[in-house]
Amino acid sequence: MNSQDAALHIDVYSDVICPWCYVGKRRLERALRQVAGRVNVEVAWRPFQLNPMMPKDGMDRTAYLQAKFGTVDAYGQLEKQVSAAGSAEGMSFAFEKITRTPNTFLAHRLIWYAGLKGRQDAVVDQLFKGYFEEGLDIGMASVLEELSDQAGLRADQFLRSEDGTAEVKAEELVGHQLGIRGVPYFVLEKAYGISGAQPVEVFLSALEKARMSLSTASRS
């Protein structure tokens, strides 16, 4: 398959406060670099709220962790696992900087808007970095505006509107209808699903299956 062939499409369902989604993004990128020049891939980021009932202004991080995991220490084990996985991908998680767990719906609307402007991957990257490496409150419009600027997207007027609300809710519904209950979840060519931040080899195998399927379909 060369660059002139139809693009292989990947939908990535994730939440920007999901640490494994950040790791999964890096592992997918590593897999895509290995097939660069042989497989033409387009990636779309889709919304999945881990905490759809989160108050609009979010909540204190410690209170959130205690409510969800029983104790902060219980979450500490997950942090260690994620930090180790992140280090292997050249990432530095700074969980100690996070003081609030945000409502992520506005962030998902921004990601949707970035998709319209061809800046989706860059915006997603800045949101992950802002939250996990800088401890920023990505539920705040002012923070999202600054991060989108860093990704090369002016979104101040959009963030003051209600645009994308219905579209993001519709995309969330599609994910639930697909049976997705946890993220990250990767859907290749609407046929091959990968649940979790799997090793690069898993992504490569799925990419090859999807490539062959797409190639067969294009010849029929």
Q: Which residue has the tokens 């696992």?
A: 81
Task: Please say whether the beta carbons of 15 and 49 come within 8 A.
Answer: yes
What is d(CA 47, CA 185) in angstroms, rounded to the nearest whole number? 11
Model pTM score: 0.94
Q: pLDDT truncated to tens, each residue of the chain (220 aa)?
A: 343 468 999 999 999 999 999 999 999 999 999 999 888 999 999 999 999 999 999 999 999 999 988 888 888 889 999 999 999 999 999 999 999 999 999 999 999 999 999 999 999 999 999 999 999 999 999 999 999 999 999 999 999 999 999 999 999 999 999 999 999 999 999 999 999 999 999 999 999 999 888 877 666 5
| 43, β-bridge pairs | 10
CB 120 within 8 A of CB 45: yes
Rounded distance, CA 79 to CA 122, Å?
25
Cα 60 from Cα 65, distance rounded (Å): 9
Q: Alpha-carbon distance 85 to 69, whole Å?
A: 21
Locate the DSSP E strands across 76-162. Answer: 100-101
Domains with residue ranges and CATH for the chain? 8-219 (3.40.30.10)
Measured over the CA atoms of residue 191, residue 181, residue 56 and residue 61, the dihedral's sign is negative
